[in-house]
Amino acid sequence: MINKTLCKFAWAGATSTMINTFRPCCRFPLDENNQYPTTDDVLVQGESAFNNSFLTKLRQDMLAGIKRVECTKCYVEENSNIVSMRQKGLQHFSAKAIDKNFERLEFLEISLDNLCNLECRMCNSQFSTKLKNRDMILARNGLTQYQPKSVQYKTLEIMDSLDLNDLKLIKLLGGEPLISPNLITFLNKIPHPENVEILIITNATTIPPSFILQKLRMFKSVKFDFSIDGIFQFNDYQRVGSNFEKSISNALQLAQYFPNTHSVHSVFSSINIIGLDASVNWLEKHLPFSISIDIVSNNITSPFYAPDWYKEIILEQIPLSNSFHLFVKNLFADKHRYDEEKWYQFLKFCKITDNMYATDISKINPYIAKAIQDVNVS
């Protein structure tokens, strides 16, 4: 019987987003201790780079039934009656997962580049070219973690150093992949598109041109995960530059071109989490898509850094009837640690970005609006 820690992503998956390293899946944190194989390792060694000491130890731990902290979110999902990414991987991949060695690349999650047309508040310029100016202003105002970044992506080169013949699933991200000039070159590099399911994470702001749609039709299946962060004002405030109604209309159109079980993925920060219940209810009622959610955990917009009074308000507003009640409750139980400094930086962030974009947070979140009243920005 397969134990409850074994995950086939560790034997068959590789995720490379903007930081020029490879992880088994997107849930692994950034590489603060320089443990993951780098892009350069992969360019030189190909897939054998996935047998470095960190990933080998990970597989050994999984085989031994040892729980890994990086996998907490999957364990929380499983304890909250949500099918976890780990469980989906067990069904999807044919890797045997019997010893410490990487087996074969069945799953690749990759960012084409960071070209994007939005300036989402919980994002930064590593992911979106549009956020360079905002990050420069934030850094100048003392939020130094927002230094504008220029990232060199080597996605197309990487594709030439990997054996792509066993690929079953690609998860494609950007920036916004549907506007990337690299998209068609990337798709042309897949040797057996008829065997590959492709999952595209898109902000649903655009419909790609017909030559891209034609190319996508050569794949076994095409699935979209539409990044829409709640309904109406909650989405539009957080995802600066987007329009909820237009995104929904584009999503429905893309779903007509490619019939499949598409999904909406909503990310909730301290800003829009107050709309989580209303958003989930609306999305579940009105769309023919599955709905998933996530809560920002890796930057100052995370509600896990909020003071207890705000945590209580958040949890009170998500009733038992909400599909994600247990998930949110368990995540807060696991991750919430009030951080005074980060919370203050977040409030400052809200004030600066409201000034920058001529927006008004009181229109979507009266609690944060009140909290920023006493925050001074020059």
- Where does this chain bind ligand SF4 (CB under 6 A)? 7, 9-10, 24-25, 27, 70-71, 74, 85-86, 89, 116, 118-120, 123, 127-128, 174-176, 203, 227, 239
- Say how far apart CA 177 and CA 112 lie, in whole Å: 6
CA gap 4, 67 in Å, rounded: 8
Indicate the residue among 240 and 314 with the shorter CB distance to ligand SF4.
240
Nearer to ligand SF4, 200 or 371 (CB): 200
- Tell me, what DSSP letter sits at residue 38? B
Q: In this complex, which beta carbon is closest to ligand SF4, that of residue 27 or of residue 336?
A: 27
Measured from the CB of residue 105, what is the shortest distance to ligand SF4 in angstroms? Answer: 15
CA 233 to CA 352: how far, in whole Å?
Answer: 19
Output the DSSP codes for 175-190: S-GGG-TTHHHHHHT-
Residue type, 60: Q
Measured from the CB atom, the residue of 131 and 371 that comes closer to ligand SF4 is 131
Give me the least distance between CB of 83 and ligand SF4, in Å please. 12
Q: How far apart are CA 232 and CA 35, in angstroms?
A: 41
Q: Nearest distance from residue 300's CB to ligand SF4, in Å?
A: 15
Picking from 84, 82, 103, the residue whose alpha carbon sits closest to that of residue 93 is 103
Beta carbon of residue 71, minimum distance to ligand SF4 (angstroms, whole number): 3
Q: What is the dihedral of CA 212, 213, 215, 219, to 10 degrees?
A: 130
CB 269 within 8 A of CB 121: yes
Is the CB of 10 or the CB of 248 nearer to ligand SF4?
10
**Minimum Å distance from CB 250 to ligand SF4?**
13
Closer to ligand SF4 by CB, 67 or 220: give it. 67
Residues 186/172, Cβ–Cβ less than 8 Å: yes
Q: Which long-range contacts (CB under 8 A, 24 or more apart) does 318-324 make?
A: 318/276, 318/277, 319/277, 322/276, 322/277, 322/280, 322/281, 323/280, 323/284, 323/291, 324/276, 324/280, 324/293
Nearest CB to ligand SF4, comparing residues 37 and 193: 37
Shortest Cβ 239–ligand SF4 spacing (Å): 6
Looking at the chain, which runs of residues are DSSP E strands? Answer: 13-16, 107-111, 119-120, 169-173, 197-202, 221-227, 239-240, 263-268, 290-295
The least distance separating ligand SF4 from the CB of residue 279, rounded to whole angstroms, comes to 17
Nearer Cβ to ligand SF4, position 226 or 289? 226
**Shortest separation between residue 344's beta carbon and ligand SF4, angstroms:** 24
At closest approach, how far in Å is the CB of 187 from ligand SF4? 20
Please state, in angstroms and rounded to a whole number, the distance separating the CA atoms of residues 364 and 367.
9
| CA distances, 192 to each of 15, 40, 165, 199 (Å) | 20, 26, 7, 16
C-beta closer to ligand SF4: residue 86 or 351? 86
